[in-house]
Structure 1
Amino acid sequence: MANKNMEIATKIATKVSDMGGRTFLVGGYVRDEILGIETKDIDIEVHGIEVDTLVNILESIGDVQKIGASFGVFNLKGYDIDIAMPRKEKSSGNGHKDFEIYVDSFIGYKEAAIRRDFTMNSLMKDVLTGEVIDSFGGIEDLKNKNIKHINDVSFCEDSLRVFRAAQFASRFEFFVDKETIKLCSTMDVSSLAFERVFEELKKALLKAEKPSIFFTTLRDMNQLSFWFKEIEDLIGIKQSQIHHPEGDVFTHSMMVLDEAAKLRSQAENKLAFMLAALCHDFGKTITTKVRKGKLTAYGHELESVNIAKAFLSRLTNKISLKKEVLNLVKLHMKPNQMYNSSKKKSMMKLWDDAIHPADLILLAKADSLGRGIKKDYTEIENTLRASLKDYKKLMQEPEVSGKDLISLGLKPGVQFSEYIKLGHKLHLSGLNKEEILNHIAVDIKKKQY
C-alpha cells in the first residue's frame, strides 16, 4: 500500500511541477524515514500553484475526496494519502477547532512549516528531487533525540500538543526539550475532547517499548492532574520494602507497564491488557495501611476496579473495552495467589471468570516482574498455562442444556437458568454431564416433595 501511495504522490508531484509548483512529503513520513521507521501514512503538501489548479490535477488522476476543501486538504479515493496546501492558522478560541484558516500556497517553506508542532515534524522532502528542507533544525534535534517546539505562540494554540510531546517521547525514547516542558506546563488541557487525549494515550500504550515515559513526561510537565489524576495519586504511596524494593506505587505501576509492553504482542486484546497494567494498583491509594507494623494494601484490587471505572469513563465510552479492562484489574492478583495455594477447582473457576484468561496470565507475569526483584517467572507461567489448557479442554466437553432439563420433566422458567448455572458450576468442579444430570434430577425430586 505504501508503494501504491508513493506512486500516486509522484504522479501528483510531476503534474504539479509541470504547472510550476513543488510537492513535498511532510510531517511524520520524513521524520520516520530519517529514523529508519517504516510508515504507511503519507502526507504531501503542494506549494506554488492555486487551489483550483491542484483540484484540476487531482481530478485528472482520480476521484477527489474534498475532506477539507476550504482548508486546502484533499485525498483521492482508494489511496491512503493526504494532500494539503500550505495554510496559516490563527486561534479564535480555546478548542482545537477554534481556528481561522487561510490557504496560501505561496507563503514559503519556512512560513508553512512554522505552524507544525515540533522541529522533527517540520521537515519537508521534495517528492521528485529528494531535497530535504529543514527550516528549524529538525534533523539535528532528531540526532540528539530532542523534542522541541517551533514557535511559542502557534504551539500553544492546540493544547493536545502536550500529550503529543509525551507520546513521541515514549515511542521514540526521546526527551522533551526543557523549554518545551516549561511551555507545556503553562497550557490548559481541560477543554480537549476526550477522544483526542485517548488517541495519544493509545499510541503510547500500543507503540512504545517504554510507555512509562508518556506518564513520567507528563509528570515533569505537571500535566497529569486533569486527565490522569488517578496515576498522579500513585506518586508517594509507599509499599512494603520486602515485596516492592523499587519504591512507591507510581514507580511499580510504571515498571509493570513497561513489562506489559514486552508481552503486548501476545495479548488477545492489546489495548485492554495495557490499560489493565496501568490501572491494576489504583486501589492502593485508599487501602494502603500499616497493620501490625507491616505496610499492606488488602483488597486493593477491588478498590482498583472502582477507581479505574471512573478513570476509563473520562477517556472512552467503549463499553466492551472498559468491561475487559475492569475484569483484568479485578482478577490480577489471583493467578499468582492460586499458583501458591489453590486447588484445581478454584483454578477452573478463575479461568471461567476471566474474559481473556491468557491475558490475565500475562498481566500477572508483568505484575510479578515489574518490581525491584529479579525473578524467573517460567515455572509459574508454565503451571498457569497448563491449568488454562485443562480448562479449555474441559469446556469442549458437553454441558447441561435446556433440552436436557426438559427431558427431566422441568418446564421452562426461572429454575431453568438456575439449573444451567448449577450445571456449569458442577462441570467446572470436574463432574461429567451424566453425573451432573443425576445430581439435578435428585434435586428436582426433592423440591417436588
Structure 2
Amino acid sequence: MNLPIRRKIPEKIIRLAERVRSERGRALLVGGCVRDLLIGLEPKDWDVEVYGVEPERLRAILDEMFQTVDSVGASFAVYKVDQDLEVSLPRRESKKGRGHRAFVIEGDPSMSVEEATRRRDFTINAILMDPLSGEIIDPFGGRADLEARILRVVSPKTFPEDSLRVLRAAQLAARYQLRIEPETIRLCQAMDLSDLPAERIWGEMEKLLLRAEQPSIGLQYLVELGAAHQLFPEIEALIGCPQDPEWHPEGDVFTHTLLVVDRAREMIADLDRPRQVTLMLAALCHDFGKPSTTVFSEGRWRSPGHDAAGVETTERFLDRLKIFTLDGYNVRAQTLALVREHLRPGEFYKARASISDGAFRRLARRCELELLYRLSKADTLGRNAPWVPRERWFTTEAQDWFIQRARELDVAQKAPPPLLLGRHLIEMGFQPSPLFGQVLREVYEMQLDGRIQNLDEAKEAGRALLIRLQEEARR
C-alpha cells in the first residue's frame, strides 16, 4: 500500500478489517473517504462496508471492539461508531414513494461489490479500498473520472430517484473543481426538486459555501442544473440584472456576486463556524435588492436603496432554508444586518473627516463590525473582474480605514455594554419606575457619544435625568 495513504487510515479501521477477515468477511473503505485519500486529502469521516458477515455477527463484533455503537438503520444494518466512523452492510435501495426518504433499503452481506456500488450517486464516490492490502476496487471508472476532474453518474437509471443529488452535484463540482459531464447535466435538469426539505437543501448549500475554495463554481452549476430556478429564485433573479458599468462593463449582478462570494471565502479561515456561515450568506445575499431597484438614470445603471430592499428578499431566502441560530449565534439577524449595512464602511470613509466615534458605536449595535469589514472588502474586491484593466481595479483603502478605527474604539466585535443599569438606580435610592427605561436609554446614548466615560459619570447623569423627569411628571 502507498505509505502516505496507509498512515492516514485510522488504526481502529485496520483492526476492524483484520477482525472481519478473521470471520471470513471483508471490510472495505467506500465513498468520500476513498475519494479524498486518492487526491491527497485527509478524510473527516470514514465509511466501511462489510461483506460476508451476517448482521447479528457484525453487531457483536462492533459491540466487542467499540464502546459506543449506535444503530442508524437497524433494519439494514448501519452503525455509527465514534463520531467519524460509520460501518454498514452492502445494501440495495428501491424508490417506493415521493420524497428524499421514500426508499426501501435492504442490507445483504452476500451482495457483490459491483451490485452494492451501483446504488451510489457519482463514479468518484463509487471507489472502494481494502484498508489491509491497499487494493482499489473501481467497477465504474471513478478513479479515471477523478483524475480527469469529471463528475459522472454511476447509473442514469437510478440517479434520478434521489433529488438531493442535484445539489450534491453542484457542491461536489465546487469542492473538487470538477466539470459535470453533459449526460449528468441533462439528468439533473429534468429532476423535480420540490420534495426536498429545507434542512437537506441547506446541508448541501453549507458544504458548497464553506468547503469549496471557489463556491462560484457550485453557484454557476446551481443555475445550469436548474436548481436555482426551482429552489433559489433570488439567485436566478441576479442573472442579467445590469451592473454599474464603472464596476463591471461586461458583467451583471450575478457575475459580481460570484466574485464577491469567492473573495469572502478567502476571509473565513479564522472565524468560528457560525460566523463563517454568516459571512458567506451575507456575501451571497448582499445584492439581492438590486433586481427590484436597478434603473437606468443619468446615463448609467443605478440601484438606489438596494441595501435596504435586499433585506426583505434575504429574509425570504433565509426563512425558506430555515436558517436562524447556530451554536447560540443569531445567524439570521446578523446576515440581515450585514446586508442592510454593507455599504456603510464606504460611506463612513467618504465622511471620515466628520464621522463621529458615536456613529461607529451605534453601528456596532446593529451588526458585528469585523464581519461588516470583511463583507465590504469582499464586495469591493468583487468589482475587480479579470476583464477589467488592472489600472481600474478598486483598492480596499476604505475598508482598512474602517476596521482600524473600529478596533481602536474596541467595537469591532461588539458594541460597548451600557455602563448604567437599573440596579444602579435602585442602589442610588430610587424606586423602580417606568421612567427607568427612558433614563437608561438616554444615558447610554451619552455613553455612545463619548460624553460619559465611566460608571460614576453615568450615575450622576442618570440621577440628574431621573430627578428632572420625576419633577416633570408631577407638574
TM-score, normalised to structure 2's length?
0.88
- Residue identity (%): 36
CA contact (8 A) 1:351 1:391 kept: no
Matched, 1:65 2:70: yes
Q: CA deviation at 1:11?
A: 1.7
8 Å CA contact 1:348–1:429 kept in 2: the answer is no
Aligned position for 1:287: 293
1:252-291 mapped onto 2 (5 Å cutoff): 252-267=256-271, 269-291=275-297
How far 1:429 sits from its partner (Å)? Answer: 1.1
Matched with 1:103 is: 107
CA distance in 2, matches of 1:367, 1:79: 38
Change (3 A) 1:397 1:330: closer
d(CA) in 2 for partners of 1:383, 1:193:
43
1:375 aligns with 2:387: no
TM-fit CA distance, 1:396: 6.5
Letter in 2 for 1:361: Y
Contact 1:96 1:192 (8 Å CA) reproduced? yes
Give the CA deviation at 1:61.
1.8
Query: Which residue is 1:135 aligned to?
Result: 139
Distance in 2 of aligned mates of 1:413 and 1:160: 57
2:449 alignment partner in structure 1: 429
Q: 1:318 aligns with which of 321, 324, 347?
A: 324
| Partner of residue 389, structure 1 | 407
| Matched position secondary structure for 2:284 | helix
In structure 2, what is the equivalent of residue 365 of structure 1?
377
| Compared CA separation, residues 271 and 264, structure 1 to 2 (3 A) | same
Using a 3 Å threshold, how does the CA distance of structure 1 residues 298 and 425 change in structure 2: closer, same or farther?
same
1:153 aligned onto 2:171 = no
| Structure 1 letter corresponding to 2:169 | A
Counterparts of 1:26 and 1:210, CA distance in 2: 26
Q: How does 1:13-412 map to 2 (within 5 A)?
A: 13-63=17-67, 64-76=69-81, 78=82, 80-245=84-249, 247-267=251-271, 269-319=275-325, 320-342=330-352, 343-345=355-357, 347-371=359-383, 372=385, 373-377=392-396, 379-392=397-410, 399-406=419-426, 410-412=430-432
- Distance in structure 2 (CA, Å) of the matches to 1:222 and 1:395: 43
Does the aligned pair in 1 maintain the 2:232–2:317 contact within 8 Å? yes
Deviates more, 1:50-59 or 1:124-133: 50-59
Q: CA deviation at 1:231?
A: 0.4
Quick one: distance in 1 between partners of 2:154 and 2:323? 34
- Is the CA contact 2:362–2:448 (under 8 Å) kept in the aligned structure 1? no
> Aligned to 1:418, what secondary structure does the other structure show?
helix
Unaligned runs of 5+ in 1: none
Aligned partner of 1:369: which letter? Answer: L
Moved more, 388-397 or 269-278: 388-397
Which string of whole-angstrom CA distances, capped at 9 and with x for unpartnered residues, describes residues 275-308 of structure 1? 0110011011111112333321111111111110
Which of 440, 443, 447 in structure 2 is aligned with 1:420?
A: 440
Higher mean alpha-carbon deviation, 104-113 vs 391-400, is at 391-400
How has the CA–CA distance of structure 1 residues 435 and 72 changed in structure 2, closer, same or farther, with 3 Å as cutoff?
closer
Cα distance in 1 between the residues matched to 2:405 and 2:250: 31
- SS of the counterpart of 1:101? strand
Amino acid at match of 1:391: L
Match of 2:3 in 1: none
Change in CA separation of 1:444 and 1:46 when aligned onto 2, cut-off 3 Å? closer
Q: Is the 8 A contact 2:245 2:300 kept in 1?
A: no
Separation of aligned partners in 2, 1:317 and 1:257: 18
Q: Contact 1:224–1:231 at 8 Å: present in 2 too?
A: yes
Aligned to 2:301, the other structure's residue is in SS state strand
Coordinate RMSD, CA, aligned: 2.3
Contact 2:436 2:466 survives alignment (8 Å): no
Q: Once the 2 structures are TM-superposed, how far is the Cα of residue 8 of structure 1 from its aligned partner?
A: 1.9
Shift of 1:3: 7.8
Report the alpha carbon displacement of residue 56 of structure 1 after superposing the two structures with TM: 2.8
Counterparts of 1:410 and 1:352 in 2: how far apart (Å)?
Answer: 31
Secondary structure of the structure 2 residue equivalent to 1:241: coil
Between 241-250 and 159-168, the greater mean CA deviation after superposition: 241-250
Deviations 1:137-173 (A, max 9, x none): 1110001100100101211111100000100111111
